[in-house]
Structure 1
Amino acid sequence: MTKRKSIIILATVLLAVGILGGTVLSKRWNQPLGESLALPTATLAPPTATETAPTPIAENTGSGQAASPTPLQPETPLPTSTATPIPTATPEPLCGGPPVMTILALGVDTNSYLYGLADAIKLVRVDFVTPKVTVISMPRDLWVQIPGLEASGVTEGKLNQAYFYGSPGMGYYDGPGAGPGLMARTLQNNFGFAVDHYGTVNMYTFVRMVNAVGGIDLYLERDVDGRPVDEKTEDMGYFYAGYNHMTGEAALRFSRIRKTDNNFARMDRQKMVLCALKDKLLRPEVLPDIPDLIASFQGSIVTDLSPAQISQLACLLPKLDDENIIFGKIPEDELTGTSRWDARNGHNTFVWDVDPQVISDYLARFQAGEWPVYSGEGAGCPPPVEPRW
């Protein structure tokens, strides 16, 4: 066992003991930090019909009457030896977690939670048995039906607008979970995918989180240009190829660039930032501080996870091998770019058009742990970048 792994394991134990010792006696340990989703239970499809044995066909004897079918004689079974099955142990979930947990992770494009669009929409599947974490980026410009707002004249819109209409400042939605809750309902109604929990971070909190761990380190294969392309475009800066140390502000700008290429390239950059943040959290000098970090940000993140569940997720992080952190996205060739009339805003807007069943099929495989699969470069996190500063 390497020195680094020994330190990680020791820090994980200290993390668990520190969090548990401070709050295990509290009544809030297992209580959600925010309003639970309370999504309707999905209806299971009826079982398919089973095959029946074919009816024997009577032979024609030539007398005008059909002869009774000749019954088949059963074959004499060969003697077989009966082996006593050896019971196999069922692996237990690690860190006291459930076998699988799914989380809707949202990044909001404002500094508060009263308003805003969902700038980043991720579905996270956490397998506590393998262990494995799979992250799917959902295209924010998907055109979807938005449920529960008919009285306000809203029936459809972009996927990222589901959060906007559900946010407290809009006053359209009074269901559970506010913006994340309406986003979760929208995903379930359109694609049949129900999440267990949600977590939402605004821009201000994201910047603070990255700065709290001392920034992140990335290696860029090429320059990334986030300068304005017109007077309406926000200046996101220019990032040179090679090694980059990013503060929270720089990491946020890097994650939001999309006007110079497209939203799929932005998803890839968001993945780079998440991987770099994961690498920083696993550094020996940072791991012991995770309990304090969790405590300091509990009031800044909107989530229905409980402190116990957050502790389980933190415990699992250092146990993940690189090939068991997998990123994916809906293939671009499944989507058709077009424009739709946005009645609420009074103009045409770019959207991704797609058969909802296509998305449903991908998400069903994601839910079952069958997709995406690790395929080497591009599927998981890049190698950690050692800081040079």
Structure 2
Amino acid sequence: STQALPTLTTFPLQEVAANATATEVLPTATSTPRPLCGGPAVMNILAIGSDARGSHYLYGLADVIRLVRVDFVNARVGVLEVPRDLWVEIPEISDHYNITNGKLNQSYLYGNKGLGYYDGPGEGPGLLARTLNLNFGARPDNYIAVNMRTFEAIVDAVGGIDVYLPYDVEVVNAQYPNGYGVEAGQHHFDGATALWVARIRQYGTFSRAENQNIIMCALRKKLLSPAIVPAIPKLVRDFKNYVQTDLSAEQLNQLACLATQMEGANVVFASFPMDLFSVEKTYDPQSKATTSTLDADFDILREYVAKFEAGTWPDPNLIINTTPSPAETDREFACED
């Protein structure tokens, strides 16, 4: 039998005091600003959305791959989308069926326990992190992966999310032969609808990432609403065993603390320029079939990743006023308060 996921029914105000963290020490003219919430100066996190449909993390591809740079000094978060369909070199598992290459999202699958291919640290997220480092120089400090069932449960636990869609989201396929979609405008989504919008690939990979950014900003806004903020420590405790992470309870509390002290404009989502990529047909020896992949000059992507991890791209002084359209989804995007 499957284990029931937690729900949120009470919002105990006393939990804030019980989990209080140190307040910011204001810098003097000669002092160096200290990180907020007792955190490090910077925390680099690999965030993964798994397409596993059960409550486990034994299998599943990395449906969403984001590098997240959390700046505790300047109260700023950068989120970089890494396209899952990039054809990359995958390290440390060549002793299993001679696997040396695959799509980036496959490295997460190959690293998890279900297949038994990878003996290194961190299971699927660990192998995905090593793959990102090998190909693009990324250096995440920690990781967190969330499967689809847990994502739905988190959204439902906070009572759903209020989402403004700047454009229609719709699809016609074998599952929805007559079409299915959500019109542009203001909506209240439960977990299942939020997941559907986040996963739909209406205009391709990049517009899909844009939908995900909109959903993540809406979830952030709901978590920071007056009714939910007092329950954040309880949410962290309730869901910690339903995510795949090496973040400690202390680190999770530091992140939750910082979230309450940030403006939406300081949560900035970025994508590599779309013109860096080309769509290719690549033969995958594991599936014994030709698959659609993305190719790019990895040296250029390395330069972007290095600037992202240094905090110089996206430009920290950039003011973002509008939501990109589906035709310009590689433009920076920021949350609204």
Is the TM-score greater than 0.5? yes
CA contact (8 A) 2:125 2:145 kept: yes
Cα offset, 1:237, TM superposition: 4.1
Alignment partner of 2:314 out of 372, 375, 387? 372
Q: Against the structure 1 CA distance between its residues 240 and 325, is the aligned structure 2 distance closer, same or farther, given a 3 Å change threshold?
A: same
Q: Measure how far apart 1:19 and its partner are.
A: 3.0
**Could you say which residue in structure 1 is the equivalent of 2:328?**
none
Please give the secondary structure, in 2, of the residue aligned with 1:357: helix
Paired AA for residue 200 in structure 2: I
Aligned equivalent of 2:89, options 145, 156, 160:
145
2:175 corresponds to 1:222: no
Which of 255, 258, 265 is 1:323 aligned to? 265
Higher strand proportion: 2
Deviation, structure 1 residue 99: 0.2
Q: Which of 112, 127, 132 is residue 76 of structure 2 equivalent to?
A: 132
User: 1:119 and 2:72 equivalent?
Assistant: no
CA–CA separation in structure 2 for the residues paired with 1:113 and 1:92: 37
**In the alignment, structure 1 residue 207 sits paired with structure 2 residue 152:** yes
One of 377, 380, 383 as aligned partner of 2:336: 383
Amino acid paired to 1:138: V
- Taking the TM superposition and a 5 Å limit, the aligned residue runs for 1:50-129 are 88-111=30-53, 112-129=56-73
Alignment coverage as a number of residue pairs? 306
Q: Distance in 1 between matches of 2:72 and 2:177?
A: 40
Cα distance between partner residues in 1 of 2:179 and 2:216: 18
Measured after TM superposition, the shift of residue 114 of structure 1 is 0.8
Let me know the Cα RMSD of the aligned residues: 2.1
**Superposed displacement of residue 352, structure 1:** 0.8
Verify: 1:272 aligned to 2:217, yes or no: no
| Residue equivalent to 2:143 | 198
Q: Is the 8 A contact 1:18 1:291 kept in 2?
A: no
Q: TM-score, normalised by structure 2?
A: 0.86
1:305 alignment counterpart: 247
TM-score, normalisation: structure 1: 0.75
Q: 2:127 aligns with which of 178, 182, 201?
A: 182
Q: Which of 93, 114, 118 does residue 169 from structure 1 map onto?
A: 114
Residues 236 and 256 in structure 1, CA contact (< 8 A), matched pair in contact too: no
Q: Give the structure with higher Rg (CA).
A: 1
Task: Tell me the distance in 1 between the aligned counterparts of 2:177 and 2:286.
Answer: 23
Structure-1 separation of matches of 2:91 and 2:253: 33
Q: Distance in 2 between matches of 1:359 and 1:279?
A: 31
Gaps of 5+ in 1: 1-10, 22-85, 385-389
Q: Contact (CA 8 Å) 1:325, 1:381: kept in 2 or not?
A: yes
Q: Which amino acid aligns with 1:149?
A: I
Give 1:223 deviation, angstroms.
Answer: 1.6
Superposition deviation, residue 136 in structure 1: 0.4
What amino acid is the match of 1:117?
L
Q: CA separation in 2, counterparts of 1:236 and 1:327?
A: 30
Q: Aligned partners of 2:241 and 2:266: how far apart in 1?
A: 30
Deviations 1:317-344 (A, max 9, x none): 0211232111101111011111110110
Q: Secondary structure at the match of 2:241?
A: coil
* Distance in 1 (alpha carbons) for counterparts of 2:34 and 2:180: 47
Q: Aligned to 2:285, which of 314, 332, 343? A: 343
